[in-house]
Structure 1
Amino acid sequence: MNEQHPPGPAEAPGFWLDTPEHRQWLMSEAERQWTFFAASLRDGPGFFSLDTAGNPLSDDTQELHSTTRLIHAFALGQISGHAGADRIVEHGMAYLRDHHHDAEHGGYLWALRGDAIVDDRKLAYGHVFVLLAGASAKMAGHPDADALITDVSDILDKHYWEEDAGLFADEWNRDWTPFSTYRGMNANMHAVEALLTAYEATGQDVFLSRAGRILEFFTARIAPAENWRLPEHYSQDWEIDRSYAGNPMFRPAGTTPGHSFELGRLLLQFWDLSGRQDRNMPVTARHLIERALKDAWCAHGGLAYTLEFGGKVSASTRFWWPVTEAIGAVAALIKLDRQASDEQWYRKLWTFADTHFIDHIRGGWFPEIDNAGQVTSTIFKGKPDIYHSVQACLFPLTNGLSGHIDDLKHSEPVAMR
């Protein structure tokens, strides 16, 4: 059993981001995650999904966002000096090229099982993660990254980008015939993440410009009118659809405060990359982050998953990923403007995650806890993802609001505890 260390010195004054104890703990926890998820690598095509002990689950369906997130997370590991991370990146890039890629119609298929197609839809959500994977792989030095970025950028431009709205449409059938008229924030929010990473990787202005247009719609137009909450679902004309309720994980009704944390952090990243010209953007980012913390923090700790449009808790289910995104968002606020209240939140969030979500014995994070704070499983099986939790460890370690991957190139690996 690994010796457990707290995430930071409890009695230390100032900010954990300045303490060597916390910084070493962050990198050590990231290393433990990369080590755990290395078991995802399989001899054949694709990756294993892992149970809580790190063993392969019987269902070997591989969804596009899982493939691409592993590439991205292990590209961060390769850049940070984690031994063997390049094997995951290479395996994932090959699987994208030879299996997820649709040689007949172009674009990338949503779900596979080995060589077999399970779900042939073409989702913007998946395609923006392909862009993120390509951009991160490029910064890790992968030789196929430029071709991947070019291919998926062309697909996004041709089939998803709506120039008049300045936003991405959501979904098509395999042959690019219409699947629905649904429009949503989730795919666009992750598009901002991918576009900013692609801009940092390539320097192409189109990526920064489109990220800015998406952010302007959600953070400057929608959020102020909704008391700094962000409705998830929209009509084809980009009007809020308050009656929509879809997949309980990816398209729940109402608002999802975890996405406010992500968009708040991404707005600060965009502001930094675009020259810090708009003085309102940091204020807006803080409104989004603070509103989500106030609305969603539960009396017994953790963050509620969804809210009604007025801020009342709708689904009190407590997943790991809103906590990880809140950590990244609050860390960004601390880097920008050091306020004691932000540090209180930062310590509270990490302490809660350390107590309830981190598996100190086997590595990785448990995805869900029940009302008593015990590990449970109502939606996810096993430990489904490294993406959110490893970023929560790495982004606070970087110096600024942008350029995270460049900063990680100069980080030092730490010994496992």
Structure 2
Amino acid sequence: MAASELLKQAADRIEVWFSHAWPLWIDRGLDPKGLFYEQLDFSGQPDEIVSRRMRVQGRQLYTFSRAVEAGHAAALPRLRHALASIETYGWGIDAQPGWIHLLGPDGSPQDTLRDTYDQAFLLFGLHGAARAGLPNARQLADHTLAFIDTSLTEPSDGSVREGVPASLPRRSNPHMHLLEALLAWFELTGEQQFLDRANRIADVFAASLFDRASGILGEFFTAGFQLAPPPMGEIVEPGHHFEWSWLLYRLAGFDGRDLIEEAGALHRWGLAHGLGSEGYAVDECDRSGHQTRPSRRIWPQTELIKSCLVNGQHDAAARLSLAVLDTYFATGTQGLWIDQFDQAGRQTSDVVPASTFYHIVVAFEEVLRYARSAHPA
């Protein structure tokens, strides 16, 4: 079967899955206070007692904005409610700027750390809210950017520190998600400031995070961007290789810094070392390529799908999409997913984390976009 036909087959099944997922999450994903639940069980019921991470609030702002764009009118009032509540419970607690790290199920602050990763995801989610037409989303995004600039950014190289208060090791991951958010805002607004900021993050990637000689993206670093001592400095996540590859293609597509060669190297390393015997991306390797955690969450699969698409491997992207639909989405309640399998293919997750929905939405929308370009209506 031709790659375009496989993509169409995957896209058709994705559309069916979305037709179940959107109504379920719109109905059950938000609590009465307007905060997104952290997870559902496999019957689709929310966990009402677990704490709420702010990064998940940002991710779910984004996913609900995509439900709005997909034509689900019921998502819009929930999105408005969520944005108001997230600002009330999450911003400026203790009279200091920035998004806090963790909320109790009642909305009380449990951890007031200003984590850089969280700031990036709120910035990303606010882009979705702005795209859905919520007028105060841009103002909150500007406040978030100002906090990142004044409290988290290293003036010498444009990298971002590990929150307020700052900590070690430094991580590549907040840089990646900040790049993602900035590209989303540039795509929405066309404002050059967002592309300039994205280019500065790309400069950090090229200078400090990526090892050209090996093709490896580091995860954890010292204050001076040397690899952290073992074991943390040895950790390599194939899913992040694939995710960065997709983002670097996006950056170049917006006429940002051209790191296509590096994007290809990331993809090739992930394929060479990060796939298990069944062709799924594993959770973790070391720098020698040995698979130290051969379990496989769903999110590395979504990043592999995206990376295959931008690296011209449409057939592989389609086949993996179909395999994921056959396995990770084989749940009794449609619209949910199995978050992780072990090396032997046994399910290891007993909840459905809301944090994963954003990964699924972005990847599946990419498959739909490529399929539609191959089969225009």
TM-score (norm 1): 0.82
Aligned to 1:415: none
1:329 pairs, out of 307, 317, 324, with 307
Q: Secondary structure at the match of 2:31?
A: coil
* Paired amino acid for 2:352: G
Q: Secondary structure at the match of 2:21?
A: helix
* Paired amino acid for 1:190: H
Q: CA RMSD of the aligned region, Å? A: 2.5
Q: 1:112 to 1:89 in 2, by over 3 A?
A: same
Aligned to 2:25: 37
Aligned to 2:265: 287
Distance 1:373 1:194 in 2: 33
Asked if 1:345 is matched to 2:316, the reply is yes
- Please list every run of 5 or more consecutive structure 1 residues that lacks an aligned counterpart in the other structure: 1-11, 173-177, 246-251, 335-341, 401-406, 413-417
CA contact (8 A) 1:366 1:383 kept: no
2:353 pairs, out of 380, 383, 394, with 383
- Whichever structure has more helix as a proportion of its residues is 2
CA contact (8 A) 1:101 1:108 kept: yes
Aligned to 1:396: 367
Q: 1:94 to 1:195 in 2, by over 3 A?
A: same
Q: CA deviation at 1:394?
A: 0.5
* Alignment coverage as a number of residue pairs: 369
Q: CA deviation at 1:360?
A: 4.7
Q: CA deviation at 1:128?
A: 0.7
Q: How does 1:154-303 map to 2 (within 5 A)?
A: 154-172=146-164, 178-219=165-206, 222-243=209-230, 245=232, 254-274=235-255, 278=258, 281-303=259-281
CA contact (8 A) 2:6 2:318 kept: no
Aligned to 1:108: 99
* Paired amino acid for 1:33: A
Distance 2:362 2:298 in 1: 13
Asked if 1:148 is matched to 2:118, the reply is no
- Please list every run of 5 or more consecutive structure 2 residues that lacks an aligned counterpart in the other structure: none
1:357 pairs, out of 328, 344, 353, with 328
4+ residue segments displaced more than 4 Å:
219-222
Distance 2:207 2:6 in 1: 30
Q: Secondary structure at the match of 2:266?
A: helix
* Paired amino acid for 1:156: I
Q: 1:188 to 1:317 in 2, by over 3 A?
A: same
Alignment deviations for residues 56-93 of structure 1 (CA, whole Å, 9 cap, x no partner): 22433111011111100111121121232213321321
Q: How does 1:29-68 map to 2 (within 5 A)?
A: 29-38=17-26, 39-48=28-37, 49-68=39-58
- Percent identical across equivalent pairs? 24
Asked if 1:368 is matched to 2:360, the reply is no
Q: 1:293 to 1:242 in 2, by over 3 A?
A: farther
1:27 pairs, out of 3, 15, 33, with 15
* Paired amino acid for 1:141: G
CA contact (8 A) 1:51 1:381 kept: yes
Q: 1:393 to 1:18 in 2, by over 3 A?
A: closer
2:293 pairs, out of 315, 320, 342, with 315
CA contact (8 A) 2:59 2:121 kept: yes
